[in-house]
Amino acid sequence: MRIHLSSIMVDDQRKALAFYTDVLGFLPKHDVPVGEDAWITVVSPEDPDGVQLVLEPDSHPAVRPFKDALVADGIPFTSFAVADVAAEHERLTALGVKFTQPPTPMGPAITAVFDDTCGNLIQIEQMA
């Protein structure tokens, strides 16, 4: 058994696809209409055959209160690995991305937390 999909709940799938590709730099993998929504996944250019991130609509009534509570306390529910947190922080800040936590040493790692504009906080992590 292996992990091949991981989901993130987004408030607008089209906006999310633009952010996760144009800003973060992931590649679109699937974009298939499903009723009013779509089955949209992205992958990392560093691992195009690897785990797909599903951009899942957050329209279920239980999701928004859950997301809001996490965001209020600054909790990222998803984490991406990067080679250089400081460089990503600089690159993303220049693109207008807002960070709730700048690059900070956390034990053996350096982490930072940003807002994905779709209702989620995302952690980026660099292992020392």
Partner 1 sequence: MPNVAGMADEDDPLFKALADGTRRAILDELVARDGQTLFELCARLTTNRGLASSRQAVSQHLDVLERAGLVRSRRQGRYRLHDVDTRPLARIARRWPVPGTGAAPQPDAPRTRTPDTRTPATRTPHPEDES
Contacts to partner 1 by CB under 8 A: 68, 71-76, 100-101, 104-107, 111, 113, 115, 121
Q: For residues 42 and 113, which CB has a smaller minimum distance to partner 1 in the complex?
A: 113
Closest approach of Cβ 89 to partner 1, in Å?
A: 14
Q: For residues 95 and 106, which CB has a smaller minimum distance to partner 1 in the complex?
A: 106
SS (H, E, C) 58-85: CCCCCHHHHHHHHHHCCCCCEEEECCCH
Q: For residues 43 and 71, which CB has a smaller minimum distance to partner 1 in the complex?
A: 71
Closest approach of Cβ 101 to partner 1, in Å?
A: 5
Please name the helix (run of DSSP H) or strand (run of DSSP E) that holds residue 102, with its range, or none: strand 99-106
Tokens matching residue 66: 């859950």
